[in-house]
Chain A
Amino acid sequence: MLIEVLFYVFGTILVAAALGVIVSRNPVYSALSLVLCFVTSAAIWLLVEAEFLAVVLVLVYVGAVMVLFLFVVMMLDVNLEQLREGFTRFAWLGWLTALAVIVEIVGVVWARGGLGIDASKGGSALPADYSNTLELGRVMYTKYVYPFELAAVLLLVAIVAAIALTMRKRPGHKVQDISKQVAVNARDRVRIVKMESEKRS
């Protein structure tokens, strides 16, 4: 009972925040609504006892990705009125994407029997000593070890690519040379000029 009430409370907040992402005029408010979305989704995951996933969602998306995102959004001086001109031109694309996502969700949950989950009943309570973290780790490092390692390599390639793109030689690119900075002498930078004191006239 309590779980259902909590679910609907968090669900309402999640939908409201998701609407806020696309409706609000200020891009900073959009980014903050997205943060709220992630936090409430994590809360909903906690309700189905997926504590590891919930905490990792907050850790990765709220703690790292959105901080950098917010950083960028705050520094940009976005003129939303200009951006909104001709916004409805791509409405059909948006509707198409939304439809595709809905079809996929329905396909998984309903048409394919929902991965063995009976959607009409909701999750059953797990035993008290059940540890989501332990179970996930066990599966990830035994059954799915190759996909897991492949994903890791893929991410590494992405990191290398991102660094290579920003560090390439380009005009006006300034880099500190630390050893030069450390090796510098006061004598090279400051010249002390001797001057005879002048007689009082």
Chain B
Amino acid sequence: MLQTLSTAWFSLPDYGRATVWILVITVALIISVALLTLVERKVIGWMQLRRGPNRVTIFGLFPGLGQPFADVVKLLMKEVIIPARANKFLFRLAPMITLIPAFAAWAVIPLSPEVVVSKADAGLLYLLSLTSMGVYGVIIAGWATNSKYAFLGAMRSAAQMVAYEIAMGFALVGVLMATRSMNLGTIVLSQSGGIGAWNWFWLFPLFVVYFISGVAETNRAPFDVAEGESEIVAGFHVEYSGMAFALFFLAEYANMILIAALTAVFFFGGWLSPFQGYPVIGDTFLGAPSFLWLGIKISVGLFMFLWFRATFPRYRYDQIMRLGWKALIPVTLVWIGVEMVLSVYKIGPWSH
């Protein structure tokens, strides 16, 4: 049985295998998003000494586990209301434009040593261009709604995303210098050699800048002024209801998982094991590279997102802009200069 399956698998043409992987990754991503919403509510609940969702069960087990699925059913049943004076075509288009880049970016992410849909050489640039396309959904939604609050939210979020993209891009230039490749698989491989050889040590300021920019790019707390409910109701998606709102929601959480995965790939060695090359433990399965390690790293990154949301108060808008332009970008520029010195004297990742 297993043998026939594996022969069938290897007799598939390349594009056939890629299609299967695309389907598997998409479905897995949607389920991860559903579970992430539950984990978020639970974790923030515990941090604030509450219980979080605990009513909907699956067959009477695991209190709260059924909550995301109940929410999906609820959103599906709701009516999608289109405001009378909204631009109907763009209003319907905006959620899709937000969702597509959030999922398409997964094409170049190496999930395990064997599994990657596309080994594109310009993978890093592809990711940057896709994350920058996500902003269109937000702007178009804000404009098409024909509401002041929505438009204010869209403008805030667009300015913020454009600002933080620059810091993000510069942080990735540093990664590029250390790994000498734009292919994500090569970036992971060049960090091999256990936890000390990963990029986070020599590129620590860039890691911090990248993660902060990632939080700002996804419009998450404490940078969620695009939906600041105390000032502009809910920002660009005020008028969206039912499944149209759910698509924005799905894209936001998919982007969170994406940022966590990218942080793992660029700074924490992707699917590499932290015990690689260690005397005893390195010879067991714990020393082998696998999806297990990437999964753990993504989960830790996602936990940081939730932790930020539970602890930090929201930034003021001008402070967000100042942080992006006057703090994060200079830090990355200085560190790129430091990297130049390191590479001349052949220290750290440049020593081999």
Contacts and interface: CB of A to CB of B under 8 A. Distances in A.
Whether A associates with B in a native complex is yes
Interface of A: 28, 32, 35, 51-52, 55-56, 58-59, 62-64, 67-68, 70-71, 74-75, 131-134, 176, 178
Interface string B135-171: 1100110010000000100010011001001000000
- Identify whether the interface residues of A are mostly helix, strand, loop, or mixed: helix
A55 B165 CA distance: 16
Nearest to A71: B158
A159 B182 CA distance: 27
Contacts of A68: 162
A178 B162 contact: no
B256 to A, nearest CB: 20
B338 interface: no
Contacts of A62: 129, 132-133
Interface residues of B, number: 24
Contacts of A32: 90, 140
18 contacts: A28-B90, A32-B140, A52-B122, A55-B122, A62-B129, A62-B133, A63-B132, A63-B135, A64-B132, A67-B135, A67-B139, A68-B162, A70-B139, A75-B155, A131-B121, A132-B122, A133-B125, A134-B121
B141 to A, nearest CB: 12
Nearest to A26: B87
Nearest to A29: B90
Nearest to A75: B155
B21 interface: no
Interface string B60-88: 00000000000000000000000000000
The winner among A28, A52, A67, A68 for most chain B CB atoms within 10 A is A67
Contacts of A63: 128-129, 132-133, 135, 165
Contacts of B90: 28, 32
Contacts of B126: 55
A74 B139 contact: yes
A30 to B, nearest CB: 13
